[in-house]
């Protein structure tokens, strides 16, 4: 009988860090509503169109929120990761393909701290058709991200640098810089005031970094 082959697998050095970002411009939320999803599915399934209902601005506004199970406001964790991946275009020695597997923003939704206000915008849909959109806007906001990362691939300093670049050049939400807008921009909070903040590499010393299994799991699923 052949001898059993023993395989030694090196342990991946997965760590978790937390970083708080503060909005530099208003954040506009626009979640897919249940009604919009149903309309899209009905169209794909060739179902007969129903007569249009009278619009309800308050209901449309509420449907645009991302909410956590406890009712708090949130934004998709994937939006922050997408911004960081996109920021690789502005950083040296970091590739988008590698970063996608090198870090993850924990949870489905990241809680957003701030008070929303309603806004009404004229938008163009389809072939120049005008419409009115009712969406919530956070004029002042902040969020704390829990980030799991492979320490053999990327360092906390690089992550903070990416967050800084992402906040300025990519953003999150509607009309962000990535989409030729100026909303949804942010910067990384440090222990010092914004005007006197340290560089990205120095600021990372102020952040909490632990082995991933030393921190409790963070679960924030949307409705």
Would you mind telling me the total number of residues written for the chain in this entry?
223
Helix/strand/coil for 151: coil
**Nearest C-alpha neighbor of 75 from the set 190, 173, 186:** 173
Query: At which residue do the structure tokens 């990327």 appear?
Result: 154
Provide the pLDDT confidence category of residue 22 given band limits of 50, 70 and 90: very high
Torsion of CA 21, 173, 109, 192, to 10 degrees: 0
Across the chain, mean pLDDT equals 84
Domains, the chain, with CATH or none? 15-28+66-214 (3.30.70)
Say if CB 146 and CB 15 are below 8 A apart: no
Average the pLDDT over each of 13-17, 175-179, 217-221 and give the range with the smallest value: 217-221
Greatest CA separation found in the chain?
Answer: 77
pLDDT tens profile 87-118? 999 998 889 999 999 999 999 999 999 999 99
Assess whether pLDDT exceeds 60 at residue 218: no
Helix/strand/coil for 91: coil
Residue predicted with more confidence, 100 or 196: 100
Provide the pLDDT confidence category of residue 154 given band limits of 50, 70 and 90: very high
Assess whether pLDDT exceeds 80 at residue 128: no
Could you give the CA distance from residue 97 to residue 115 in angstroms, rounded to a whole number? Answer: 36
Assess whether pLDDT exceeds 60 at residue 204: no
pLDDT tens profile 49-68? 776 777 888 999 999 999 99
pLDDT at 196 (0 to 100)? 47
Could you give the CA distance from residue 220 to residue 223 in angstroms, rounded to a whole number? Answer: 10
pLDDT at 203 (0 to 100)? 44
pLDDT at 6 (0 to 100)? 85
């Amino acid at each position: 009988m052949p001898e059993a082959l023993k395989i030694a697998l090196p342990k991946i050095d997965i760590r978790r860090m937390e970083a708080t970002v503060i909005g530099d411009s208003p954040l506009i939320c626009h979640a897919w509503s249940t009604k919009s999803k149903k309309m899209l599915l009905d169209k794909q399934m060739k179902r007969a169109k129903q007569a249009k209902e009278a619009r309800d601005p308050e209901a449309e506004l509420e449907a645009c929120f991302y909410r956590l199970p406890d009712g708090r406001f949130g934004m998709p964790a994937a939006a922050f990761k997408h911004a960081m991946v996109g920021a690789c275009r502005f950083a040296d020695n970091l590739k988008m393909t590698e970063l996608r597997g090198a870090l993850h923003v924990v949870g489905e939704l990241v809680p957003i701290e701030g008070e929303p206000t309603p806004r009404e915008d004229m938008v163009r849909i389809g072939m120049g058709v005008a419409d009115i959109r009712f969406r919530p806007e956070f004029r002042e906001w902040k969020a704390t991200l829990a980030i799991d990362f492979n320490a053999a691939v990327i360092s906390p300093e690089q992550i903070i640098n990416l967050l800084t670049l992402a906040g300025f050049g990519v953003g999150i939400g509607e009309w962000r810089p990535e989409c030729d807008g100026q909303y949804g921009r942010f910067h990384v909070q440090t222990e010092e005031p914004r005007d006197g903040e340290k560089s990205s590499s120095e600021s990372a010393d102020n952040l909490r970094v632990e082995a991933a299994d030393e921190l409790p799991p963070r679960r924030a699923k949307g409705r």
